[in-house]
């Protein structure tokens, strides 16, 4: 589609910011709303319902009713499968509309909203839908006078609280396994990008997910989010977001009904490039492409680059030639690869880290400022610091923006120690043609995912999650069912 057509569609966009409870679009009980502004150009997108504890009560009650009367949990798995596949089909049928909502709401380039966000989100719903009638329970190896069944049952009412960086995909990672397992769900999207989640709820209903089974409550974290985390009738909370808020979620689960609390949190991932990496061009392209993808707003962005000293200069030469390709552009132009930063607060945070890096003595080689000021939107140049020291804040803290910190090393063990010397443990990478070194290093790296000689290859078949303060539990793959099911033992005397 041409940029002009995308702009015409954006101008005609009529997003509905009302909540979705028990199969209906509704205003917040308080009548309060907040404005959703687009980071693309500052335009007003929608008035969004500011849900709070009253709306949380209504949604949880609807979800509980739907769970207890078995309208979804009691459906044959093959029937649930058909509904979820229809849901994925509807997402594809509404691909352009969903992609446009995502781009306008959080600023990512339309090409990626189409090819990554909608595509992976519908595939996630489809994959768990497909899995619904293919998972068997177990019979334990008991003595002959007994029969012991080990069965999985849905936990009940699942609350999902998600961030704004991949709004539709994060929603899919939570709701797909939770719904496939037969739970009812109350989803709270981020206040910064709630629109695609709300539209998903309508498509799910159209596909045949019964009313009350999938509810969406937009609102602020310390209002709707907190009320969900503290609710006595929520059985499980699936949280994705910052480590700071993740800690609060776990505390709130403990303060209330000890609901199962699963956390997928922040990262400061290390990408280690050894002098014997098999393809330096590929390593540079991957390092640069992965840090600037999604404006650097990715939990697993390889934001700490460890380059072996002997290839540092060659690496940086190549990197500097690639960086201009990632300059921010109009997110509605299908050629653009870097879009807008989600909001003013995030913009300020990222620019603050850049100033901090400069003040700490890191060498700013590229970027460092805002861009496209005349667009009315929020953009930051792809930024690269060389000469970064492990003690600097830009090397220790999650920036969540297009900022790469380059550290060099001469001793691989030392690089691995530095890579591990962070509270986070989400992802890491090592580039080497020496297979033993690759295996030793990947074993030593304390991260939920370790990439070898690539960074971003990934799919729904493998688990995703963190070690240490990057969280517990895993999204994606069949392992995600562990979060949303209880194991029951039924011991039968024969």
Can you give the binding site for ligand NAD, defined by CB under 6 A?
Answer: 161-165, 170, 188, 190-191, 220-222, 225-226, 229, 240-242, 245, 248, 264-267, 299, 398, 400, 426, 466, 470-471
How far is the C-alpha of 92 from the C-alpha of 97, rounded, in Å?
10
| CA dihedral over 288, 289, 291, 295, signed as positive or negative | positive
How far is the C-alpha of 110 from the C-alpha of 103, rounded, in Å?
6
**Best CA proximity match to 156, nearest among 240, 81, 72:** 72
How far is the C-alpha of 294 from the C-alpha of 381, rounded, in Å?
13
Most distant CA pair in the chain: distance in Å? 78
**C-alpha Rg value of the chain to the nearest Å:** 23
Minimum Å gap between C-beta 31 and ligand NAD is 20
Closest to ligand NAD by CB, 191 or 381: 191
Closest to ligand NAD by CB, 170 or 179: 170
Minimum Å gap between C-beta 12 and ligand NAD is 28
Minimum Å gap between C-beta 430 and ligand NAD is 21
* Residue 308 bears catalytic tag: no
Check 102, 191, 264, 381 and give the catalytic one.
264
In 10 A of CB 98, how many CB atoms?
25
* Residue 144 bears catalytic tag: no
Closest to ligand NAD by CB, 10 or 403: 403
Closest to ligand NAD by CB, 7 or 220: 220
Q: What is the DSSP letter of 210?
A: P
Check 299, 308, 381, 398 and give the catalytic one.
299
Q: What is the DSSP letter of 234?
A: -
Closest to ligand NAD by CB, 343 or 386: 343
Are 408 and 312 a contacting pair, CB within 8 Å? yes
**Burial of 222 (C-beta count, 10 Å sphere; 0-12/13-18/19+):** exposed
Minimum Å gap between C-beta 473 and ligand NAD is 10
Distances (CA, A) of 466 to 50, 62, 241, 278, 471: 31, 33, 12, 27, 5
Are 295 and 347 a contacting pair, CB within 8 Å? no
Minimum Å gap between C-beta 108 and ligand NAD is 13
Q: Which residues are catalytic?
A: 264, 299
């Amino acid at each position: 589609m041409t940029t002009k057509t995308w702009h015409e569609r954006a101008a005609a966009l009529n997003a509905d910011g009302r909540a979705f409870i028990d199969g209906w679009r509704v205003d917040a009980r308080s009548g309060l709303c907040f404005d959703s502004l687009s980071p693309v150009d500052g335009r007003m997108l929608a008035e969004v319902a500011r849900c709070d504890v009253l709306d949380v009560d209504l949604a949880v009650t609807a979800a509980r009713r739907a769970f207890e009367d078995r309208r979804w949990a009691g459906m044959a798995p093959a029937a649930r499968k058909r509904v979820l596949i229809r849901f994925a089909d509807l997402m594809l049928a509404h691909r352009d509309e969903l992609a446009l909502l995502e781009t306008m709401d959080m600023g990512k380039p339309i090409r990626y909203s189409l090819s990554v966000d909608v595509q992976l989100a519908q595939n996630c719903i489809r994959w768990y839908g497909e899995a619904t009638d293919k998972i068997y329970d177990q019979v334990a190896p008991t003595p002959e006078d007994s029969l012991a069944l080990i069965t999985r049952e849905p936990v009940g009412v699942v609350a999902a609280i998600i961030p704004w960086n991949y709004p539709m995909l994060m929603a899919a990672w939570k709701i797909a396994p939770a719904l496939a397992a037969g739970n009812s769900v109350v989803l709270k999207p981020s206040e910064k990008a709630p629109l695609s989640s709300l539209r998903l709820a309508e498509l799910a209903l159209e596909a045949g997910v019964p009313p009350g089974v999938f509810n969406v409550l937009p609102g602020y974290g310390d209002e709707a989010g907190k009320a969900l985390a503290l609710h006595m009738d929520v059985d499980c909370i699936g949280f994705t977001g910052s480590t700071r808020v993740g800690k609060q979620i776990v505390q709130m689960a403990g303060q209330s009904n000890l609901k199962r609390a699963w956390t997928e949190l922040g990262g400061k991932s290390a990408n280690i490039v050894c002098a014997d990496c098999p393809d330096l061009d590929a390593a540079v392209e991957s390092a640069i492409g992965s840090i600037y993808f999604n404006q650097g707003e990715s939990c697993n962005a390889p934001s700490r680059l460890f380059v072996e000293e002997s290839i540092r200069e060659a690496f940086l030469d190549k990197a500097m030639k690639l960086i201009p390709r990632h300059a921010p552009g109009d997110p509605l132009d299908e050629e653009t690869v870097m879009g807008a930063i989600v909001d003013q607060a995030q913009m300020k945070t990222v620019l603050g880290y850049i100033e901090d890096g400069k003040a700490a003595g890191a060498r700013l080689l590229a970027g460092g400022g805002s861009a496209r000021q005349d667009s009315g939107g929020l953009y930051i140049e792809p930024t690269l610091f060389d000469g970064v020291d492990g003690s600097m804040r830009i090397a220790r803290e999650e920036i969540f923006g297009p900022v790469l910190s380059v550290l060099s090393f001469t001793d691989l063990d030392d690089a691995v120690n530095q890579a591990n010397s962070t509270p986070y443990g989400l992802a890491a990478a090592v580039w080497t043609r020496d297979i033993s070194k690759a295996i030793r290093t990947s074993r030593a790296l304390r991260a939920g995912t370790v990439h070898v000689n690539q960074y971003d290859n990934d799919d729904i078949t493998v688990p995703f999650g963190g070690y240490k303060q990057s969280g517990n539990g895993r999204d994606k793959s069949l392992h995600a069912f562990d979060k949303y099911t209880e194991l029951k033992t039924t011991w039968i005397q024969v």
